[in-house]
Amino acid sequence: MTQASSPRDAIASDQRLRITEVFYSIQGESRPSGFPTVFVRLTGCPLRCVYCDTEYAFYGGDWFSLDDVVTRVDGFGARYVCVTGGEPLAQPNCRALLVRLCDAGYEVSLETAGALDIANIDPRVSIVMDIKTPASGESARNRLENLPLLRAEDQLKFVICNRDDYHWSCEFVRTHDLLESCCVLFSPAQGSLEPKDLAEWILADRLPVRFQVQLHKYLWGDAPGH
């Protein structure tokens, strides 16, 4: 499919998405952390990060029309919607879904791994984009062309596995002057790095980034649908 010149140009009545799950939970990461949120998890991802906790979303799923997805979301009565994956941008119709959700009045965020183009996303959407660290096994896939497209309302997330990852991330932030572009999030990789260690490194270096943990993991562990 040829990329549309504007978000609305992508909408067509016959568009569908392969969806792994639509569920209601507490947002565990990013700026609206702690708020009840509807998650729309799209199927498929071109990356294979070593710490991935949603491998079940790589394959399978069911086909939904855009109307079907919005109807499912409406049923939960929430204010916030997070479109995630897998890698949601791997499906071209993801952009059209984002437009539909924004038009319906939701506060919408998009979680993306940062390997695919983030251009032409509805400006009402808050983008939460990963930068893959060396220990993820996918740092070569970081699409640096995305960095100039980030806005103040967007967020950039580093999942950090060890001390080397931390130093690499600090240098990446400095090299690309990211603190002037958007909110920068540093997260410990679950099971690889103790959260208090990362917090202490940030404090020792007086690094003006936002520390975060995956709140939902403390509530429900790795159970799907949370």
User: Tokens in use for 126?
Assistant: 């808050």
- Per the prediction, the chain carries an average pLDDT of 91
Cβ-defined contacts of 31-36 (< 8 Å, 24+): 31/109, 31/126, 31/155, 31/183, 32/80, 32/107, 32/109, 33/212, 33/215, 34/215, 35/79, 35/80, 36/78, 36/79, 36/80
**Sequence ranges of the domains in the chain:** 15-220
The residue with greater pLDDT, 164 or 14, is 164
Using one digit for the tens of pLDDT, what is the confidence trace for 84-122?
999 999 999 999 999 999 999 999 999 999 999 999 999
- Tell me, what's the pLDDT at 216? 64
Q: 128 by DSSP, 3-state: which?
A: strand
> 1 pLDDT exceeds 80?
no
> Would strands 16-26 and 36-42 be described as parallel, antiparallel, or unpaired?
antiparallel
Q: Which amino acid is at 87?
A: E
- Tell me, what's the pLDDT at 179? 92
- Tell me, what's the pLDDT at 12? 47
162 exposure class (CB count in 10 Å sphere: 0-12, 13-18, 19+): middle
In CATH terms, the fold of domain 15-220 is TIM Barrel (3.20.20)
Q: 192 by DSSP, 3-state: which?
A: coil
Statement: the pTM of the whole predicted model exceeds 0.75: yes
Closest by CA to 225, choosing from 54, 50, 44, is: 54
Using one digit for the tens of pLDDT, what is the confidence trace for 18-68?
999 999 999 988 888 889 999 999 999 999 999 998 899 999 999 999 999
User: Tokens in use for 43?
Assistant: 């199927």
State the average pLDDT over residues 153-180.
96
